[in-house]
Amino acid sequence: MTNPLLHDTVWLQQPKFEEAESAFQRYLICGNVSAHEDKGSSTLVKDILQIREHIQTAMNNTVPNGGIGNHLEQRIHHLEEENNKLKQTVEELRKMISSLSTQLKTSEKVKEDKMEVDKKEEEEDEDECNLFDDDEDDEEAEKLRQERLKAYAEKKAKKPAVIAKSSVTIDVKPWDDETDMQKLEECVRSIQMDGLLWGASKLVPLAYGIKKLTIVCVIEDDKVSLEDLEDQIVAFEDHIQSMDVAAFQKI
């Protein structure tokens, strides 16, 4: 079995190492080895020279300080860019929250104003209904009460009735990509009902070149039924495959 230290350049005996080091220092000072130095010392000197050359070569091959500095600068620049992006995102979120807060305050203010108006109307109605309960047997009080009741009934009759309406977004799908979408929209808009008003529309891509018609309409809840509207739309079976309600909102 081969000894792993056979070709190693490390001296395990201190005296020989010190002798070689001393010979090497004399060689550096005098330029050559004295005549009485034996051949073994010269060999050790050469070995030390080779080792020093290896060390110098290894030191020359290390990464320069400038390279390390450039890498750190690039890293710092990258971190600064990420920090700036995070700052921009935080600022956008802050503006969004501020806008939502303003909208919420405005909505609450409108709601409070409406509640205040309704409260005043109720108080007025209560005042008009105050019919002199303490003077029920008096003829003049009875006459005044009847006049107030009549005026109150006329006022209620003149108030316009609130019509419940809804905004509906409808998706109308064709059979395939060869369907004439303009003709399809014409078929949908041709449906006329009391309390139905058609609005804006657009074509939305689905898949494989097929597009669907998204159209908005406003309906009066008491006059228009979505079931009846769907039956009339899908009745154009040559162009329309199906209809779906994409959005429904009370107005």
Asked if residue 152 and residue 214 are part of one domain, the reply reads: no
pTM: 0.38
C-alpha span between 133 and 151 (Å, rounded):
18
The dihedrals phi and psi of 142, each to the nearest 5 degrees, come to -65, -40
Asked if residue 169 and residue 154 are part of one domain, the reply reads: no
C-alpha span between 80 and 74 (Å, rounded):
10
Residues of the chain with pLDDT under 70: 1-14, 16-17, 27-45, 58-69, 121, 123-138, 156-162
Q: Which residue has the tokens 């107030």?
A: 148
Asked if residue 172 and residue 224 are part of one domain, the reply reads: yes
Domain termination site, one of 45, 60, 75? 60
How many domains does the chain divide into?
3
Half-sphere exposure of 46 (CA within 13 A, CB side): 5
Asked if residue 242 and residue 189 are part of one domain, the reply reads: yes
State which amino acid sits at residue 39.
K
Is residue 98 assigned to a domain? Answer: no
C-alpha span between 64 and 57 (Å, rounded):
14
The dihedrals phi and psi of 191, each to the nearest 5 degrees, come to -75, 120
Q: Residue 175 sits in which domain range? A: 165-250
Asked if residue 205 and residue 143 are part of one domain, the reply reads: no
Half-sphere exposure of 75 (CA within 13 A, CB side): 6
Q: For the purposes of burial, counting CB atoms within 10 Å of the CB of 33, is it exposed (0-12), middle (13-18) or buried (19 or more)?
A: middle
Asked if residue 172 and residue 141 are part of one domain, the reply reads: no
Asked if residue 236 and residue 193 are part of one domain, the reply reads: yes
Domain termination site, one of 158, 177, 206? 158
Q: Quick check: 211 and 203 in contact, CB under 8 A?
A: yes
Is residue 93 assigned to a domain? Answer: no
In order of 48, 109, 142, 150, the CA distances from 156 in angstroms are 117, 28, 21, 10
pLDDT (0 to 100) of residue 34? 46
Is residue 123 assigned to a domain? Answer: no
Is residue 95 assigned to a domain? Answer: no
Q: Could you tell me the CATH number of the domain that includes residue 212? A: 3.30.70.60
C-alpha span between 47 and 8 (Å, rounded):
11
Asked if residue 176 and residue 242 are part of one domain, the reply reads: yes
C-alpha span between 216 and 168 (Å, rounded):
6
Is residue 85 assigned to a domain? Answer: no
Is residue 29 assigned to a domain? Answer: yes
Asked if residue 241 and residue 169 are part of one domain, the reply reads: yes
Is residue 183 assigned to a domain? Answer: yes
Is residue 136 assigned to a domain? Answer: yes
Asked if residue 154 and residue 211 are part of one domain, the reply reads: no
Domain termination site, one of 40, 60, 80? 60
pLDDT (0 to 100) of residue 182? 93
Asked if residue 188 and residue 245 are part of one domain, the reply reads: yes
In DSSP terms, 170 is beta-bridged to 215, 245
CA-angle at 187, arms to 186 and 188, nearest 5°:
90
Q: Quick check: 181 and 201 in contact, CB under 8 A?
A: no
In order of 22, 96, 98, 107, 114, the CA distances from 110 in angstroms are 100, 21, 18, 5, 6
